[in-house]
Amino acid sequence: MTDTSMLVKKLPNDFGGTGAHEPVPMAVHDLLPWEKRCHALLDVLDFHKIVNTEEKRRGTEEIGTEMAAKLTYYEKWIVSASNCLLQKGILTPDEIGRKHKEVSLRLGVPV
Amino acid sequence: MTNPENDPLSASHVAEFNRHSPGRRTLLKSIAVGGAAIAFAQTAYSKASTPVRRLLGVVNREGRVSALEVGDRVQVSMRYPIGHYRTPFYLRGKRGQVIRVVEQYINPEEEAFGRNAGTQLWLYQVRFKQSELFPEAMSSPSDYVQLEIFENWLEKA
Amino acid sequence: MTTEHAHDHSAHAAIENDELPGYYEILEMSVRELLIERELITADEVRHQIEVLDSRSPALGSRLVARAWIDPTFKARLLQSGNTAAEEMGISIYDDTTLTVLENTESVHNLIVCTLCSCYPRPILGLPPDWYKSKPYRSRAVREPRAVLEEFGTKIGDNVEVRVNDSTSNLRYLVLPLRPSGTEHLTEEQLAKLVTRDTMIGVTVPKA
């Protein structure tokens, strides 16, 4: 039986000391407008302690190794914030789902 | 049933304490002889690297006096909780030295679950020799790693 | 029923992108609109915070460093309390973090990393570069800092301590680099130009 406990014991973001010899990728990208809005939103949520920064960090860890590896930096932030809001009962999945559809249709994005 | 004379919460005991406690007399005496600087400079409200010192007779809130001091040799606990931590894996079980008593902060492991108050822990800056952290890497003997660790992860070594 | 002002800015920006917004971008808009409808936050707060973020760049850090190089009493205040010294120069620390300035000397070279996430002195330097948030940097800086420094073209002498500072808490580190020799005649403004973002993270050193 394979021991999977390492997946649980070590958080997916805990990189220190791992990853030997991969060169540091020097390419940079300017923040996309939505990424900057996302950053500002999380700052405002932390200021009000609606979702504090530590909760947001925990939320980016909780999504597990696959999502942690495949989602970009700000994609993780908004998923984390959404999950925290759901956990605290501030929003419900249904509300998010309906608003997401409403915004999509407004912007001409196929649903 | 606790004897009211011994129960610190009983009304009679509180009155006794306020009138005649040795702690209060000592405190008043230190003020009188110009010890005010000592009594008040080291209060529970001082920040940064001045931890609360022990003054005879002054009772501090639980946990307000730091258990560790600058220079203490410490070992990072070998524990594997679930949920959230800010003490990286590469430190577990490693030995270092306290170089600074930072201040008290809300425990991030509680804050991560929405508890924004009620659990203040001491934060320490700890220094580790790099060759001890990563013995198999080609570390320079000159190099060190420093970071902050909360008191619940440190044991005196 | 929907608040027109809340999404006008978003709709306009989305069209500017030349691409239809993806799932996550729409999720951000949705969450923001819902919270504004609930009156838990306001659109103005978010807009203002974008302005705050846009106003922070490494130029602010360069000014702190140049001032410290010129004025030893300011340098002492900067090392004692980064927040107070920054505020003295009109740079407010907009989050609850504690700016902690690390002085490089002839015997110590400081390097900053956040192995667990991406803690960075954002109020002073603005947003971090992608490489600072990358797995290779975060995993290797703490384990083989000299090899990482070499990738940035930096070589530190064997008898100098490379001190890696892993930001795990509320403290936000900023490196105060060594002032290069041969700069005695430069003005504060000229000195600030020598101080790039990378020198304040510690992956490079300033050159005269």
Query: 48-107 in A: which are within 8 Å (CB) of C?
Result: 48, 50, 53, 57, 60, 71, 73-75, 78-79, 81-82, 85, 90-91, 95-96, 99-100, 102-104, 106-107
Instruction: Please answer yes or no on whether B140 and C169 come within 8 Å at the CB atom.
Output: no
pLDDT means per 10 residues, chain C with 208 residues, are 43 57 98 98 98 98 98 98 97 95 98 97 98 96 96 97 97 98 97 98 96
Quote the minimal CA–CA distance from C164 to chain B in Å: 5
Burial letters B102-134, b for 16+ CB under 10 A, else e: bbbbbbbbbbbebeeeebebbbbbbebbbbebb
Look at B15-24, B80-89, C37-46 and tell me which has the smallest mean pLDDT: B15-24
Which residue of chain B is at minimal alpha-carbon distance from A61? B84
pTM: predicted TM-score of the whole model, two decimal places: 0.85
- Residue with tokens 């989602």, as numbered in its chain: A71
pLDDT single digits (tens) B120-153: 999 999 999 999 999 988 889 999 999 999 999 9
Residue found under tokens 């002054």 = B58
Spell out which residues of chain C touch residue B86, defining contact as CB-CB under 8 Å: 116, 168-169
Reading the block at residue C201, the tokens are 């993270």
Q: pLDDT band at residue B42, thresholds of 50, 70 and 90? A: very low
Domains in chain C: boundaries: 4-54, 58-201
Q: What is the DSSP letter of C55?
A: T
Separation of alpha carbons A81 and C24, rounded Å: 12
CA distance A83 to chain C (A): 11
Q: Tell me: pLDDT of B38 over 50.
A: no
Determine the pLDDT at residue C194. 98
Closest residue on chain C to A22 (Cα):
C136
What does the pLDDT read at residue B32?
Answer: 41
C195 versus A21: the higher-pLDDT residue is C195
What is the pLDDT at residue B58?
A: 84
CA distance linking residue C72 with residue C88, whole number of Å:
15
Residue to test with chain A: of C10, C27, C114, most A Cβ within 10 A: C27
For residue C117, indicate whether it is catalytic: yes
Residue in A91, A37, A76 with CA at minimum distance from that of residue C10: A37
What ipTM did this prediction achieve? 0.96
Taking an 8 Å cut-off on Cβ atoms, the answer to whether B145 and C167 are in contact is no
Judged against a pLDDT cut of 90, whether residue B105 lies above it is answered with yes
Subunits that touch chain B (at least 3 Cβ pairs < 8 angstroms)?
A: A, C
Domains, in order of start, for chain A? 31-106 (1.10.472.20)
In the set C92, C117, C134, C169, the catalytic residue is C117
What contacts B130, CB < 8 A, 6 or more positions away? B137, B139, B140, B143, B144, B145, C143, C145, C164
Output the average pLDDT for chain A.
95
From CA C96, how far away is CA A41, in angstroms rounded? 16
On whether the B73-156 domain is CATH 2.30.30.50, my answer is yes
Q: Which residues touch C77 (CB under 8 Å, ≥6 apart)?
A: C84, C85, C88
Question: Crossing angle for the helix pair C23-37 and A93-106, nearest 10 degrees?
Answer: 110
- What are the domain boundaries of chain B? 1-64, 73-156
Highest mean pLDDT among A23-32, B19-28, B91-100, B114-123: B91-100
**Best to test chain C binding among A37, A75, A95, A109 (most C CBs inside 10 Å):** A37
Is the CB of residue A16 less than 8 Å away from at least one CB of chain B?
yes
| pLDDT at C125 (0 to 100) | 98
Instruction: Select the more confidently predicted residue: B51 or A85.
Output: A85
Which listed CATH number (3.30.450.20, 3.30.1490.190, 3.90.330.10, 2.40.30.10) goes with C58-201? 3.90.330.10
- C-alpha dist (Å) from residue A109 to A35, A79, C21, C29, C147: 19, 20, 7, 13, 46
Gap from C125 CA to chain B (nearest CA, Å): 21
Residues of chain B with a CB closer than 8 angstroms to some CB in chain A? 80, 82-85, 88-90, 108, 111-114, 116, 133-134
